[in-house]
Amino acid sequence: MSADPLSQFFESLFDEDLEREIMKGIVDGLSNDELVAKLVQRLERR
């Protein structure tokens, strides 16, 4: 969970890990391609 209250708010709106990861990436200001790469890597590790 992010430290910033706004990020916390948005992350807490979603239950699934993948959704939280997407929201965190958006809040952290990752570019779309960076976020895709990060999520693909994470899902591959499952």
Partner 1 sequence: MKMALKFGYLIERDEGDKVVEYRPTVVPTDLPNLAYVEGPNSSGKSTLLHLIAAAFYGQKLKKLDEGLKAKVAAFVDPSHQRTTFDVTLSNEDGTLKLVARKENADSAEIVVEEFKGTRRKLMTSESFERDYRLIYDIPNDPTQRLLYLIDEVTQLQAARAASIAGFRRRVDDILREISDARDPKRIDTLKEVLGKQDAELKTTKSQMADTEELLVTLRRFHAVRALTETLSAAETVDQSLRQAKKTQKKSDRERKKVSAETSAALTGLLNNCRQLTVLRDETIPVLKEVTDRKDLSKVDAWRSLDFIRASSELEFPSVLPSLIADFRNRLREARRNPTYGAELERAEVFAELARTLEKFSQFNEPIPGTGKTIKEMIHALEDQSRQNITHLRLAQNLKKASDAIEAIHKLVNETGVLFATARKAPRSPEHFQATGEEDDEPDDLVERLTKEAEELMTRGSEQEAQCVALDVNVEQLDAELAKLEAQVELAPFRSYSEGQLVEAISEREVECDRLERAAEKLTRSHAVTESELAKLERKEPHAFQDKVEVLNEVKVSAMRMEQRLQREYHQFAGDLRHGKPLPGRPDAAKYADAIGAYLGKKIGRLRHVDQEYTVERIDMVKREVITGESKRILLADMGTGQSQSAYLQALLGADDGRKIIALFDEVAMMDEKSLSPVYARMRELRDEGKLLLGIVVQRADALTVKAI
Dihedral, 8, 2, 30, 37 alpha carbons, nearest 10: -110
27 contact partners, CB below 8 Å, separation of at least 6? 2, 4, 6, 7, 10, 11
To partner 1, the closest distance from the beta carbon of 20 in angstroms equals 10
Q: How many residues bind partner 1 (CB under 8 A)?
A: 26
Distance between CA atoms of 23 and 30, rounded to whole angstroms? Answer: 10
- The reply on whether position 32 binds partner 1 by CB under 8 A is yes
35 binds partner 1 per the rule CB under 8 A: yes
Kindly state the smallest distance separating residue 27's Cβ from partner 1, in Å. Answer: 8
Given the rule CB under 8 A, which residues bind partner 1? Answer: 4-6, 8-10, 12-14, 16, 18-19, 22-23, 25-27, 29, 32-33, 35-36, 39-40, 43-44
